[in-house]
Chains A and B, each alone.
Chain A
Amino acid sequence: MSPHLQVWRWHITMATSILHRASIFALYLGLLLLAGWLVALAAGPDASATYEGVVGSLLGRIVLFGISVMLFFNMAYNVRQAFWDLGYGFELKTAEATAWASIAFGIVAAIALWAGLAIRGVL
């Protein structure tokens, strides 16, 4: 193994870069779930009930919560990348702050979304 892998210290900017790649897989699944919901809706009440039974199960909800965290993280990360493209945000302090901010936004926005569901009493 090349030595740089053993001496490398984890940075938050590196962690968010890897997390961003991981979020692509989560959101790919999320888009297929969205298409699946639409197809179930078009197929009728029975198919929709089956879909809701699978996606609304405990495991389904855990997966959906993970997807929603990744969704909002990915959104913040893409806004961050748009600023990079304009030439802003490369200062080490700024890059680290926006990396933490994109993680924080992912978690906070996802919790807000699920709090909305809880307030509606449908969780």
Chain B
Amino acid sequence: MADQRFRTPRSVAQGLGSAHHGVHHFLVERVSALALVPLVLWGAFAAVRLVGGGYGAAVEWIAHPINGVLVGALLICGLIHAKNAMQVVIEDYIQGFVAKASLLLLNLTVCILAGALGVFAILKAALTGGF
């Protein structure tokens, strides 16, 4: 490494680079992508079973612990993955600082709200039968 002499021993030890985040974003994106493969396949099969089954059947389905937990995992894992993916798109294409920061915060807000609403909705539907 030619420019190693410009780096302090501490920065080399931390290995976080100029972005100060290291490879965290990259790892989260890869791990969430691989976790989503079985979750999405399960979700696709569940969707085929649920569509057209009526309200009662859907509530009964989500009240089952395995279904409630897995659909929650699918939603949260998907939102983490999508939040990181959209973040990169914003960072790549939006130039101005204010516009970029606003869209990044909007992205974060939308994903956290969707996750919180979704998890609350799963619990409410599963524990109260939807009423």
Contact = CB atoms under 8 A, between A and B. Distances in A.
Interface of A: 21, 24, 27-28, 31-32, 34-35, 38-39, 41-45, 48-49, 68, 71, 75, 78-79, 81-82, 85, 109, 113, 116-117, 120-122
Contacts of B36: 75, 78
Interface of B: 30, 33-34, 36-37, 40, 44, 47-48, 51-52, 55, 58-59, 62, 71, 74-75, 78-79, 82, 85-86, 89, 110, 114-115, 117-118, 120-122, 124-125, 130-131
B118 A44 contact: no
Given A41-B59, A82-B34, A24 B82 contact: yes
Nearest to B84: A24
B114 A35 contact: yes
A39 B59 contact: no
A109 B52 CA distance: 20
B85 A39 contact: no
Contacts of A85: 30
Contacts, number: 95
A98 to B, nearest CB: 15
Contacts of A78: 30, 33-34, 36-37
For A27, A28, A43, A75, the residue with the greatest tally of chain B CB atoms inside 10 Å of its CB is: A28
A39 B125 CA distance: 9
A14 to B, nearest CB: 16
B51 A45 contact: no
A33 to B, nearest CB: 10
Contacts of B115: 35
A61 to B, nearest CB: 10
A32 B114 contact: yes
Given A113-B44, A113-B48, A81 B58 contact: no
A27 B121 CA distance: 20
A68 B43 CA distance: 11
CB-CB nearest 6 A-B residue pairs: A122-B52, A42-B121, A78-B33, A38-B121, A42-B124, A116-B48
15 contacts: A28-B86, A32-B110, A34-B75, A34-B78, A38-B75, A38-B121, A41-B125, A45-B130, A48-B130, A68-B44, A71-B40, A75-B36, A79-B37, A117-B48, A120-B51
